[in-house]
Chains A and B, each alone.
Chain A
Amino acid sequence: MGKIIAVHSYKGGTGKTLMSINLATTLVAHGKKVALLDLDFRAPSLYAALKTNDSEYWLNDYLNNVCEIKRTLIDLTEKYDFKNGGQFLVGLANPHTEAIRDMGAKDRKWEMRALGRLLALKNSLLNDMELDYIIFDTSPGLQYSSINAIVSADIVLVVTTQDTSDTQGTKRMIQELYDLFDKKALLLLNKTLIGTTSFEKEKNEIAKHYESLHTLPVLEVIPCFCDVLRAGGTIMFVKEKPDHPFAKIVEEIAGRIEKI
């Protein structure tokens, strides 16, 4: 049975979307069948990052009970020339202002049904379509859409940085959200300032510090790369720059996730 992975963070701009796209495509390159779903209905970003919006339906429609999940999925396997038996499916959030406003004005009953629709993906995508992974790119912080995503996920990847307010918020979020829902959560320390001379030593020190601070395992410590920032968050390393250190790091992360 496949797994649902939610990529989440306390603050925005930590690198969730970049990580979601690269983790998903690295898994596809490994021959896995993956659906990457944009659950950030407040600030949709996958349509821009993947330069695609030719879906018949949005994920908003699926949650509104207008269509089945299959109708929202775009198959990008051929577009990005993935071989190896992998499949790259993408579900987008509607980026139009009206849709964003509509999603922000839902009542509790709707959110309850939306949770049911997300939980049902286990059956429709993992069981029936036999996908290996569903990756949720969530909205940051503690709001309905992200908590719904977290509750439905098997694994939560918490992308966090060395920023003080992010660190404090993440700590609170772990205690007051993940722990309460008994979630298997793993930390990804992103944009860390590591010198190049004693890379491994510094990396281990950072991992140790955040592991004891957050009482969660650190899956990986990722240095801050200027060229990643320069690319504007849209770079698909496995295809565009497979030899870049970031690509190697995502490769490591994907490998570890496959072992869970």
Chain B
Amino acid sequence: MAIVTEKSQTRLLEKIKECLDKLNEKMEVFIELQKNEQKPENLLPGLPEALDVMTLLSLPDHLRKTAITLCKLGEATADEVAENTKRARAVESGYLNQLVLMGYLKKERRGRKTYFYVEK
């Protein structure tokens, strides 16, 4: 029988939390997509889009707020965006992931955090 030390237990729990976070993020995207009745394939353009002001103007209100905040921050996690917009982290995560699918943003995982940014 394996001896479960406190340390390995913590590691295991961290791993589970990380997996749940990833799962949560994916779920948020699907919930968001369903809300807007858009299929993922419709959101994947052939070429990456530029997030210029005219594009910002054409975005729906909820996504525009998220996109402008990210433009101002340059690079940010869903937590940092949520802090600025005063909306829930899960909501911002959903919107950010939707903007990634639309080709306006990029995301990168560093350690346990996911950073969103506008491609220069």
Contact = CB atoms under 8 A, between A and B. Distances in A.
Contacts, number: 46
Interface string B45-64: 00000111111110001001
B50 A180 contact: no
Contact of A112 (B64, B68, B72, B118): B118
Interface in B12-36: none
A116 B53 contact: no
Chain A facing B: main interface SS: helix
A116 B120 CA distance: 9
Interface residues of A, number: 18
Contact of A108 (B54, B64, B72, B118): B54
A1 to B, nearest CB: 13
Contacts of A111: 50, 52-54
Interface residues of B, number: 17
B52 A180 contact: no
B64 A180 contact: yes
Contact of B65 (A116, A148, A182): A182
B84 to A, nearest CB: 12
Contacts of A259: none
Given A112-B51, A180-B61, 18 more contacts: A108-B50, A108-B55, A109-B50, A111-B53, A112-B50, A112-B52, A115-B52, A115-B71, A116-B74, A119-B72, A147-B54, A148-B53, A151-B56, A151-B68, A176-B57, A180-B64, A181-B56, A181-B64
Interface string A138-156: 0000001001100100000
A108 B118 CA distance: 13
Interface in A124-173: 144, 147-148, 151
A112 B61 CA distance: 19
Interface in B76-120: 118, 120
Contacts of B74: 116, 119
Interface string A95-132: 00000000000011101110110010000000000000
Interface of A: 107-109, 111-113, 115-116, 119, 144, 147-148, 151, 176-177, 180-182
A107 B74 CA distance: 20
